[in-house]
A and B are shown apart, each in its own frame.
Chain A
Amino acid sequence: MKEIVRKIISISGRNPFLCYQCGLCSAVCPVVEYMDTPPHKVVKLIQLGGEELKRIKSIWYCISCMACVDRCPRNVGPGILFEAFRLLTLRRGIDKVDLGTLENIDKVPTIAVVALARKTTG
């Protein structure tokens, strides 16, 4: 198994190989239309473990709304795999968003800032 796939499994505690590609996750995802790769396809790419994985941007659009996790009939929980995927970057100390550059940071409710920081900075 590829190292990246092994790590995603160990951080998420979920098994991507159980996915049978029903596409329910992509159907219920509120941000699927902004993603370069829909959630069910990301899971497929994780199964295949190819180089393409590194180019996926979809994981940064996921907002952990749990819509796909709750409904996944195979208990794969794509949103949880996405979190593990994000952490592979964040745990190397690489921030995806520079909080200092956000214009409306002092206007939005604090929970938005905390949530964004939790999901996109290391």
Chain B
Amino acid sequence: MNYLSSLKYLYYPGCTIKRDALEYEEKSLLLLRKMGIELKELESWYCCGALPSLAIDDIMSYVGGTRTLIEAQKLIRRGDFNGLLTLCPMCYNVLKRINLVLENDPDKLEILTEYMEEEERYGLGVNVVHIVEVLAGNIDRLKEIATEKLTEFKVAVYYGCTLLRPKEIAIDDPENPEIIENLLTSLEVAIVDYPFKTECCGSYHILTNRNIVVDRVKRIVSSALRRGANIITVVCPLCMYNLKQVVKEGNKLRAMYLSELLVHLVGDR
């Protein structure tokens, strides 16, 4: 896979990062700053919709995401940005899929453009990236600043769904992703392999069928534990919330955002 290596990105936080995952944002921004990667937050942005509609006639559901992409397009034209970075995998997933649909179906882009009455049309091609891709693409910078050793950590990586499916927008091989494991291994962090790293956590069933989430997460977590993990690392605020239904403070296994884990490696000042 050809990783990205530019050092200046626009940043699209999305609703959840600003309301429910402030510590994830804080650690991620700190980490990128230490790596010499500059971010500029979008001045205005819209909810992406979290899950895109799968219907072929549901063009309305692309409006929010497309408006955000147009905001990014304006700034990219003026500045030297290499793409639009997201921390939330659901934002990543939706924006990538809107790009994909509109690139493959010019009629939909036409209908959307007519409908939205934005000051400019979306010209396609805003490069949406997830923080994991940027970290993996700049591993040398990470190695340079990684002064600490985490010898006591045995890390199970949990990817969840939205960075890997649908496969057209996956950040790595959707059946056997290794991008985060490779990143951690090159920083001398011990990895634990287990079979459920791309299994769904139960997602929004947390609102209506909590038992489904608990069952799913128990399966994922117990497998990681059996293989000797003491950290399970995630990149999605909803996966994190769902994992914490089972993984509690003081347990043998801790749930930790990837950014937080990496900040431990580089020291937090």
Contact = CB atoms under 8 A, between A and B. Distances in A.
A118 B51 contact: yes
The bracket for how many chain A residues form the interface is 35 or more
Contacts, number: 117
Contacts of A120: 208
Given A112-B241, A118-B49, A65 B54 contact: no
A34 interface: yes
A11 B54 CA distance: 9
Interface in B214-249: 216, 237-238, 241
Contact of B161 (A12, A65, A84): A65
A66 B209 CA distance: 20
Nearest to A77: B54
Contact of B205 (A13, A31, A70, A80): A31
A67 interface: yes
B16 interface: yes
A5 interface: no
Nearest to A33: B215
B177 interface: no
Nearest to A11: B55
B209 A30 contact: no
A67 B56 contact: no
A63 B204 contact: yes
Interface in A43-59: none
Interface residues of B, number: 39
B207 A118 contact: no
Contacts of B88: 111
A110 B166 contact: no
Q: Which of B54, B55, B165, B202 has the most CB of A within 10 A?
A: B54
A109 B236 CA distance: 10
Contacts of A34: 209, 212
A74 B140 CA distance: 42
B247 to A, nearest CB: 16
B15 interface: yes
Contacts of A94: none
Interface of B: 14-16, 19-21, 47, 49-51, 53-58, 61, 88, 90, 161, 165-167, 174, 199-200, 202-209, 212, 216, 237-238, 241
Interface of A: 10-13, 30-31, 34, 61, 63-67, 69-70, 77, 79-80, 83-84, 87, 97, 102, 104-105, 108-116, 118-120
Given A13-B56, A34-B209, 18 more contacts: A10-B57, A31-B202, A34-B212, A63-B203, A65-B203, A67-B165, A79-B54, A102-B207, A104-B206, A105-B207, A109-B19, A111-B204, A112-B241, A113-B204, A116-B204, A116-B207, A118-B61, A119-B204
